[in-house]
Structure 1
Amino acid sequence: MLPAAELDAPQQAGPVRRAWARWWVPVLAVYAASRVVSTVLLLIFASVQGQNPWTGAHPDYFSFATIWDGLWYNIVAVSGYPSSLPTVDGIHVTENAWAFMPGYPGLVNVVMFLTRMPWAPAAVTVSVLCGAGAALVFYRLMLRVGLSASTSLFAVVLFCVSPVSPLFQLAYAESLYVLLLATALLLLVERRYGWLFPVVTVMAFTRPSGLAFALALGMHVIYRWVVRRRDPFPVRDRILSVSLTVFSGLAGLAWPAIAALATGSITAYTDTELAWRAPYIGYQHLVPFSSWFQGAYWWSNTMLGLPGWLGIAVLVVVLALFAVALFSPGVRRLGVDLWFWIVAYALYLLAVFFPQSSTFRLLMPLFPLLGAMALPRRRVYRVGMVVLFVALQVGWLAVAWGVDGADWSPP
């Protein structure tokens, strides 16, 4: 007969094991541990931060977490949007609040009202909680596309320690947007089109996304039609999916339309967005698919003093390598729907964005690729990836978040 102590041990350990066996517990544990790491890094950078346009020297955590675009979101939350576009010379539109959509500051406003917290802690709280939700949904998404539980959990590890993951605890809209996007992708994979309508709506008013998601949906609809004989495409699904594609496209155009109506300028939104690239290449019209080539030429010629064509050549090589990677076994393992999103969003970025320091943040919606990066199972690879990602966090904070005088490298 076993001693009483030995009989009691399994019973005492049982609740712990049962709790850990619940899928969400290890995911939240990974998220919490990663936030501790990022918090330490942010506090270190705050301790050496000098006086800047947003804070005094050595700011506290919440002050440091709400600089850069955090101030713009605060302006939106407090003052809304201007009825007329500010200009730098009476002609060219300058930076203003219309570049920042109302989803995130609106949610922070609700939290402020319910909790009576001031802006900074309320904004950080929303970001942290939305980041946790995004990690949970991302885990379910990885399982849904066929990755094992252990691989899905390591994908979450990479997601939580990725180079721009400090955004999960800063006053930026990325946490909310990634939560919505992960939810939308999960619903798309599960073909629950009806539930996607409200998600797409909120997502389109959180970060520019509607047109990219509409493109992904369009590819999804075409694919389902092509393979309908071996994978039935019922009439109900056809109607819903096509309607959703059109709806997403309209949602993507809704915010520019609202800005145009409110200001009386049909190009209010695009002119506002173009103001952020004016310090680099001056005021120009938006020509789709030209911005990255303009940026490559500028970075090579103006910043590095090298021939502009060399920067363009490097860009072409990078784009070619990315295209090859899209057809790698790891990326194809993620399934066609996530592949459609990765392609659609990459094309959207290539069409409209100008490459500069915030590009690292703008790559965040490509997070499904972390599932492919999580596939190798060797311990040395996985430990190395975590160390590399944390080191890249330090690099991102040094280059993009910390402010060095009149800093021109926004996150």
Structure 2
Amino acid sequence: MGSSVRELAAATPGTRDRYIDLLRVASLGTVVFGHWLMAAVTGDGIGNLLAVVPELQVVTWALQIMPVFFFVGGFSHALSYRSLRRKQAGGSVYAAFLRARLQRLLRPTMVFILVWGAAALVVQLLGGDGGLTGVALRLVAQPLWFIGIYLAMVAFTPPLLALHERYGWGAFGALVAAAALVDTLRFALGVPFVEFLNFAFVWLAVHQLGFLRADGRIRVPAALAAVGLAGAAALVALGPYPLSMVGMPGEKVSNMAPPTLALLCHGLWLVGAVELLKGPGTRFVGRARVWRTVVAANGMAMTAFLWHLTAMLGVYGAMLALGVTLPEPATGAWWAQVPPRIVAAVAVTALLVAVFRTFERPAPTAPGSGSGGPVAALGITLCLLGVLGLSMVGFGGMLEGRSAVLVAVRVTAPAAVAMALGGWLLVERAGRAARA
């Protein structure tokens, strides 16, 4: 494996923006570290360190870095779609684009769903899905929300890229205005269910910033960072928005679910900040050893993200099985356990990556023939709904019909699994037909 990474790193063209690859790895790594750090597990259940020590919620303004990943996605999707469009002038490339962009995302995700779905069935049949095990079966599915949002971004890339190419910053501004209108209707007028629209408007606005970066239109990143930081601070200080940029248990208003205008402003300041660091970041990743590390990490980043909570819960489960005392969160003894717990979680994640990373390696792709677009659109819609539904209901209660509300529709775990797998197969079929 080391030789292949070395060869890939050596074959990297000089025109590649390596800083974008560094941002992708760093953003996912920060999210993983944040989850490991914030989990507060005791013999009675699983809590959140930020709820135990509310003063620490300010750190989410640095650790909630998922907007950077979506920004990077916008940049990469713009380049990928334009490349396919150039290779096949005059025809639709939608199905081939979806398959090319989603292989390394959906293949490891479907394996994760199948493995955990089967494990959940076995656990329930054996009657062991209560207590901490039941909580774990729900918790391991939560990162799938990110996969669902990313699927929507890929699905909407062609029309939103067309709007960007016509209106530039105007297309981004329209999404920001739509997000602000949704929050106004939600908080000022009390319109029900309207807040769910911001799952699209907020995250697609951040994604749109990636298009702008691809065209070199983010010329004053300091201004973007300043406006975003000032806007987020003002909204939190004066409005109904909480301090935390991640979801908190029991809170009436969350900046994350659904996303708010405050989270969008947070995304603006993060994008501006990473763009300000582009110079030194590019020089850093230009070092041969650093670049090889980034190449290796990018080849397994999604697998590690999918399984990192499984690793963390495995570590806690082993501690409980061995009779290791789990101190009260935020105490001195708890903080003393943090470094060895994280080291152990890294080790278990590495083992899981070694087992499952092969599914993250994509098959070769080629320009499409212009067919398969409607099938691909149906497939990605089903996959998106299934993955988002599973992130909400979890793997627990597979045989009991336990459900969760996805926007206004109740979804059970078996139905979510079926939609996710069926949608993935449709995307694969349409993509292959487009290449034939």
Q: TM-score range by the shorter chain?
A: under 0.3
Q: Using CA pairs below 8 Å that are at least 6 residues apart, which structure has the higher relative contact order?
A: 2
With normalisation by structure 2, the TM-score equals: 0.25
